[in-house]
Amino acid sequence: DIVMTQSPDSLAVSLGERATINCKSSQSVLNSSNNKNYLAWYQQKPGQPPKLLIFWASTRESGVPDRFSGSGSATDFTLTISSLQAEDVAVYYCQQYFGLPLTFGGGTKVEIK
């Protein structure tokens, strides 16, 4: 199984400041035949289902604000919120869809400092 490890478990950021979440996979999720990283990011607010933010490691889902960006390749990935807004308080998960079983990171809770 591909193990997804997120860090930190939680972080508190001031409004308008940058938030950075890391995700590391136990093996590469880069498909060399199409040069795509099979990595997605989700946002989950309390009492709500997860929402897809980013797929292919860096492609923003339609309607997602451009303050959210994804980067990285192979085994190391980052979700960045460039200027934290109050509505961004949530738990964020990374997920690989390179191989079965599909696996998620443990989540990172983002709060306002």
Query: What contacts 101, CB < 8 A, 6 or more positions away?
Result: 1
The yes or no reply on residue 49 touching other proteins (CB under 8 A) is yes
Interacting residue with other proteins among 20, 28, 51, 74 (CB under 8 A): 51
Residues in the chain, how many?
113
**Residue from 52, 60, 67, 73 in contact with other proteins (CB under 8 A):** 52
Query: Would strands 51-55 and 19-25 be described as parallel, antiparallel, or unpaired?
Result: unpaired
Least CB distance to other proteins at residue 73 (A): 16
| Cα(105)–Cα(90) distance, integer angstroms | 15
Interaction with other proteins in 89-108: which residues (CB under 8 A)? 93, 95, 97, 100-107
DSSP, res 113: -
Interface contacts to other proteins, rule CB under 8 A = 38, 40, 42, 44, 49-52, 54-56, 59, 61, 93, 95, 97, 100-107
